[in-house]
Amino acid sequence: MTLSVSSPPRTIRIGTRKSQLALVQTQWVQEQLQKLFPDITFEVHSMSTQGDKILDVALAKIGDKGLFTKELEVGMLNREIDFAVHSLKDLPTRLPSGLVLATITERENPADALVVHEKHKDKQIDTLPEGAVIGTSSLRRLAQLRHHFPHFTFKDIRGNLNTRMAKLDAGEYDGIILAVAGLERLGMSDRIHQILPKEISLHAVGQGALGIECRADDSELISLLKGIEHSKTRDRCLAERSFLRELEGGCQVPIGVNTVLDGDNLTLSGIVASVDGENIVKDTVTGLAKDAEQLGIQLAQLLRQQGAQEILDKIFTEIQRGS
């Protein structure tokens, strides 16, 4: 890929959140692009988002209308930055007009991990004692774990990864649930005690992948960004995002997924659960990877026929009431 010789190489400004994870991810993207396009200058501009500032309120109660992405999107529309690097799972399934999801990069293991207090180092999720205090701030993790392990006590946990680890190690929790991907990217793989199998926890839509968003009319940049796209991750994530979009759920609702790509065939599983873990609907569809988005819609419709909408409507009403 070459730039037109008539125009001097441009400087491209990358927007990111300021969190340690966001900075590590953005640096990785910058390095990949710099290798592919050595003549272009890529600059990193970091910004705080609303989600970085509100640390004391349970995420589920503030909703997720672009909590971690809005300031970056405004920056792109104002031309202060050219593209933004997001954890794909934090990027809403509907983008503001004028912006597109240009590229999805190769995903890390998308599963959830159990991290335990050292006194439980010989235990697994199914052998932790009655009443064990499990920290999570995700309704998706909460609902699925409650379904399988109703004898645990669940407690909200917020803050960055280091803060959460410190709270766990101080004995405030017996175990906490975190994304494998975040732990790996921050060099904390040694804290992964158990990777939760998909029978226990279906992961979040887009978990473990990075999504790069830019202005829809910047075709030159879009073609550069395609250089770091991972097509298998893209197919899986487009199916997952289409499923979530069709159910009109954000990342803060108890919706989980799993995808398997086998040659041209894509298998998508999804779950919608009530917050108490008592009602769950779960199903699987298979089709061609090139019809990824269609598959997502098909699965959403299938789950709706099994009562998913009623479960979701109840959650939306409860969140609005602030309960």
Ligand X SMILES: NCc1[nH]cc(CCC(=O)O)c1CC(=O)O
Scanning 28-36, 82-90, 257-265, 315-323 for contacts with ligand X by CB under 6 A, the matching segment is: 82-90
Catalytic member of 39, 56, 82, 90: 90
For residues 180 and 306, what is the distance between their CA atoms, to the nearest angstrom? 31
DSSP classification of residue 203? B
Identified binder of ligand X from the candidate list 16, 26, 49, 87, rule CB under 6 A? 87
Q: Which is it for the CA torsion 176, 113, 192, 84, positive or negative?
A: negative
Scanning 175-183, 261-269, 286-294, 307-315 for contacts with ligand X by CB under 6 A, the matching segment is: 175-183
Q: Is 99 in the site for ligand X (CB under 6 A)?
A: no
Q: Is 272 in the site for ligand X (CB under 6 A)?
A: no
Scanning 120-128, 178-186, 188-196, 313-321 for contacts with ligand X by CB under 6 A, the matching segment is: 178-186
DSSP E strands in 117-218: the ranges are 133-135, 153-155, 175-179, 194-195, 210-215
Identified binder of ligand X from the candidate list 104, 142, 181, 273, rule CB under 6 A? 181
Helix (H) or strand (E) holding 139: helix 139-148
In whole angstroms, the minimum distance from the beta carbon of 38 to ligand X comes to 28
In whole angstroms, the minimum distance from the beta carbon of 203 to ligand X comes to 8
In the complex with ligand X, the residue whose CB is nearer, 165 or 312, is: 165
For residues 201 and 117, what is the distance between their CA atoms, to the nearest angstrom? 20
| Helix pair 292-305, 308-321: axis angle to 10 deg | 80
Identified binder of ligand X from the candidate list 178, 253, 280, 311, rule CB under 6 A? 178
In whole angstroms, the minimum distance from the beta carbon of 87 to ligand X comes to 3
Is 262 known to be catalytic?
no
Q: Is 104 in the site for ligand X (CB under 6 A)?
A: no
In the complex with ligand X, the residue whose CB is nearer, 182 or 270, is: 182
Of 199, 110, 111, 191, nearest to 149 by C-alpha is 199
In whole angstroms, the minimum distance from the beta carbon of 66 to ligand X comes to 13
77 burial type by CB count under 10 A (0-12 exposed, 13-18 middle, 19+ buried): middle
Other C-beta atoms closer than 10 Å to the C-beta of 278 total 12
Task: Please report, as residue ranges, which positions from 194 to 223 form the binding site for ligand X (by CB under 6 A).
Answer: 207-208
Other C-beta atoms closer than 10 Å to the C-beta of 118 total 9
- Where in the sequence numbering do the catalytic residues fall? 90
Binding site for ligand X (CB under 6 A): 87, 89-90, 178-179, 181-182, 207-208
